[in-house]
Amino acid sequence: MDTTVTADRPAGARLGRFLGARFALIAFTGAVLSVVLVLLAVILDIAFQDPLDSSVYTLKNFSDLYLDPFVYGALYNTAVFTAVTVFVALVFAVPIAWLAERTDLPGRSLVFPLMTASAIIPGTFGALGWLFMFHPRIGTINHWLMDLLPFIDSPPINIVSVSGMGFISGLGLSSLAFIMLAATFRAMDPALEESAQIHGLSFPQRIWHVTLPLMWPGILAAGIYIGTIGLASFDVPAIIGMANRIFTFSTFVFNEADPQEGPPNFSIVGAASVLMIVVGLLLSWWYLKVIGRSHRYTVVTGKSYRPNIVPLGRWWIVGWAFIGIKLGLGIVFPFLALVWASLMPYFQPFSMQALAFVSLDNFRQIPWDIFWMATKNTAILTLTVPTILMFVGLAISWVVIRSGFRYAWLVDMIAFLPHAVPNLIFSVAILVIALFWIPEYIPFYNTVYIILVVFVIARISFPTRVYNNALLQIHKELDEAAYVSGLGPFGVLRNILVPLLAPATLYAWIWVALLSYRELTLAAFLTAKDNQTLPTLVLSFVTRGESTVAAAISLLLLAFMVPLVVLYFFFGRRTLQLGGA
């Protein structure tokens, strides 16, 4: 009997340690994710509150919102902007993904890093660059076209429009759509295409009747994902639209939360946010539904799968020309436009006469004390947000994948909410909390910490998805063997899982750092004198009409991104290419 008791004690101790660690991780996860629910509850609360009496709940905010004709204009603009964004993103992403994954395009290994670099570029960069190129009054290329073509007496391209903003946004997001679609094209078995070829279908017919239908779930999923982002997109509408009185729903909400005159109208912001939450959830439900049904289109089946590369012949020139157009419009031309603008005292089209005005005065006019303060805040966010999220994401994923928790599905669903809901809503909610819930003596409002919290909450979904996928590839037998050897759950995490997850952790850390560095939407709602970031500093100069100084700051912003980009391509690119999509 003594032997049995002695043998049972270690097993009981191990079980106790496991349950204790399991409880601690579930409690930590619950505490973090409860913040997500609290922020959403705050939005719903202010949406139904009477603005004159917070103890009274009413539908008046919704009637005031939806009886305003201006709101319907903003809704229409948002619908057009989102539709154009999705269309343009897929027009570029689908052919380039096919060229990179299914053809013998020379140098096709360069396509992925080039497209990924384009995805990293801040949205303010493209918006400013295109403004300098195609503004109807000062756009350089518009002036060139009018000079070269005598039958054109007005600017042929007007980027200051809803469709123009959608084109710029779609051009930038096409790189993200490419990343999502590349894995889909890479995994498709070409057997059905070969069968269609044997039955006499021409190459265009095979693409139209076989390849695209097989790719449809992936293309539709990417389109819905891009549409979800476009719905709440702020950077391009803010840079181009607000100064010209063209509002989408995101800039309308921003204008109500931070009006030029009078106090914030949080009641209307809350009512508007409810609609955005509903639409965002519906789009995310549709996205998950499409992903869930994608098995119906599965054509990769074990040993029968074999990759097939389509020979392009001389058509490779057309392929690279198309990729070059995307990269030129998305990176090269906007960069050249920003360089030119940063050297001009006021923006003017490029000409030999304008060279006489070239100087570095815009860089001298930068308020360097504010610039270095914004740089410090940006550095804090860039280093701190991904570090916190690695701990948070690993804890959530362990609960979802490894803990055996009965309600793990609910934990995973709540962790996905920050992606499903437009992120700017979290900024509005935490602004309300900072103003009305937190005492003034606590340093939170108008500090970098308020931005840090909302950045962490808004990005929770990404590391959890990365860790979920990675943990599913690590067999539980390794955990069980470690438990038998005497390690507890925290020991298994530290000695087994964390080393095996190191590549995924490094990739996720660098990617979140890049997103935090370039983020404008979330920070714009929370920025003040002492907590500006580099992207919000660019926006502040644009709204003041000092676009050439904004161009100079944008170039410095890009220069400071270089170390992160180098780290990403040195450590993280292979992880993304193999499984990040």
DSSP 310: B
State the pLDDT at residue 220.
82
Using the 3D structure, point to which of 319, 336, 353 is the last residue of a domain. 336
Q: What is the mean pLDDT of residues 239-243?
A: 87
User: Is 357 domain-assigned?
Assistant: no
- Same domain, residue pair 282 and 377: no
- Same domain, residue pair 571 and 539: yes
- Same domain, residue pair 258 and 284: yes
Q: Which residues contact 314 (CB under 8 A, 6 or more apart)?
A: none
Q: Which residue has the higher pLDDT, 36 or 485?
A: 36
d(CA 68, CA 442): 38
- Same domain, residue pair 93 and 223: yes
- Same domain, residue pair 317 and 466: no
Of 93, 94, 97, 107, which is closest to residue 316 (Cα–Cα)? 107
Q: What is the mean pLDDT of residues 309-316?
A: 83
- Same domain, residue pair 42 and 66: no
* 2 pLDDT above the threshold of 50: no
d(CA 545, CA 239): 11
Tell me which long-range contacts 349-353 makes (C-beta under 8 A, separation of at least 24): 349/138, 349/139, 349/140, 349/143, 349/144, 350/140
Using the 3D structure, point to which of 280, 312, 336 is the last residue of a domain. 336
State the pLDDT at residue 283.
78
Residue 47 backbone phi and psi in degrees, to 5: -65, -35
User: Is 351 domain-assigned?
Assistant: no
Q: How confident is the model at residue 6 (pLDDT cuts 50, 70, 90)?
A: very low
State the pLDDT at residue 505.
87
Of 400, 422, 378, which is closest to residue 227 (Cα–Cα)? 422
pLDDT digits (tens, 9 = 90+) for 265-309: 888 888 888 888 888 888 777 876 766 655 444 444 444 445 567
- One-letter-per-residue 3-state SS of 394-443: HHHHHHHHCCCCCCHHHHHHHHHHHHHCCCHHHHHHHHHHHHHCCCCCCC
d(CA 494, CA 482): 11
Q: Which tokens in the block code for residue 173?
A: 């997001």
State the pLDDT at residue 264.
81
- Name the pTM for this structure: 0.81
- Tell me the pLDDT of the chain averaged across its residues: 83
d(CA 207, CA 98): 10
User: Is 383 domain-assigned?
Assistant: yes
Q: Which tokens in the block code for residue 17?
A: 């340690």
- Same domain, residue pair 164 and 97: yes
pLDDT digits (tens, 9 = 90+) for 377-420: 999 999 999 999 999 999 999 998 888 888 888 898 888 888 87
Torsion angle defined by CA atoms of residues 145, 148, 150 and 156, in that order, rounded to the nearest 10 degrees = -10
pLDDT digits (tens, 9 = 90+) for 111-165: 888 887 787 788 888 888 898 888 887 788 888 888 788 777 777 888 889 999 9
Interhelix angle 2-48/424-436, nearest 10 degrees: 90
Q: How confident is the model at residue 473 (pLDDT cuts 50, 70, 90)?
A: confident
- Same domain, residue pair 379 and 513: yes
Q: How confident is the model at residue 580 (pLDDT cuts 50, 70, 90)?
A: very low
Sequential DSSP letters for 484-509:
HTT--HHHHIIIIIHHHTHHHHHHHH
User: Is 359 domain-assigned?
Assistant: no
Sequential DSSP letters for 159-180:
-SSHHHHHHHHHHHHHHHHHHH
Q: What is the largest CA-CA distance in the chain?
A: 104
d(CA 289, CA 173): 22
Domain that residue 109 falls in: 57-336
d(CA 537, CA 377): 11
State the pLDDT at residue 572.
53
Q: Which tokens in the block code for residue 429?
A: 């909610």
Q: How confident is the model at residue 38 (pLDDT cuts 50, 70, 90)?
A: very high
- Same domain, residue pair 412 and 309: no
Q: Which residues contact 208 (CB under 8 A, 6 or more apart)?
A: none
pLDDT digits (tens, 9 = 90+) for 181-205: 887 776 665 666 666 666 666 666 6
State the pLDDT at residue 85.
95
Domain harbouring 22, CATH code: 1.10.3720.10
State the pLDDT at residue 117.
77
Are β-strands 53-57 and 49-50 bridged in parallel, bridged antiparallel, or unpaired? antiparallel
CA 344 to chain centre: 32
- Same domain, residue pair 303 and 421: no
- Same domain, residue pair 331 and 421: no
- Same domain, residue pair 302 and 421: no
* 547 pLDDT above the threshold of 60: yes
Q: How confident is the model at residue 360 (pLDDT cuts 50, 70, 90)?
A: very high
User: Is 342 domain-assigned?
Assistant: no
- One-letter-per-residue 3-state SS of 321-359: HHHHHHHHHHHHHHHHHHHHHHCCCCCCCCCCHHHHHCC
State the pLDDT at residue 57.
86
What is the tally of structural domains in the chain?
Answer: 2
State the pLDDT at residue 202.
65
> Cβ(522)–Cβ(454) under 8 Å?
yes
State the pLDDT at residue 299.
47
d(CA 379, CA 374): 8
Q: What is the mean pLDDT of residues 219-225?
A: 83
User: Is 227 domain-assigned?
Assistant: yes
Q: Which residue has the higher pLDDT, 149 or 47?
A: 47
Q: Which tokens in the block code for residue 46?
A: 């202010």
Q: How many CB atoms lie within 10 A of CB 145?
A: 15
User: Is 474 domain-assigned?
Assistant: yes
Tell me which long-range contacts 13-17 makes (C-beta under 8 A, separation of at least 24): 14/483, 14/486, 14/488, 17/488, 17/489
* 571 pLDDT above the threshold of 70: no
The dihedral through the CA atoms of 496, 499, 503, 508 has a sign that is positive
Report how far apart the first and last C-alpha atoms of the chain are (Å, whole number): 57
Using the 3D structure, point to which of 336, 352, 387 is the last residue of a domain. 336
Of 385, 325, 363, which is closest to residue 554 (Cα–Cα)? 363
User: Is 517 domain-assigned?
Assistant: yes
State the pLDDT at residue 498.
86
Instruction: Report in angstroms the alpha-carbon separations of 401 from 286, 469, 542.
Output: 24, 9, 46
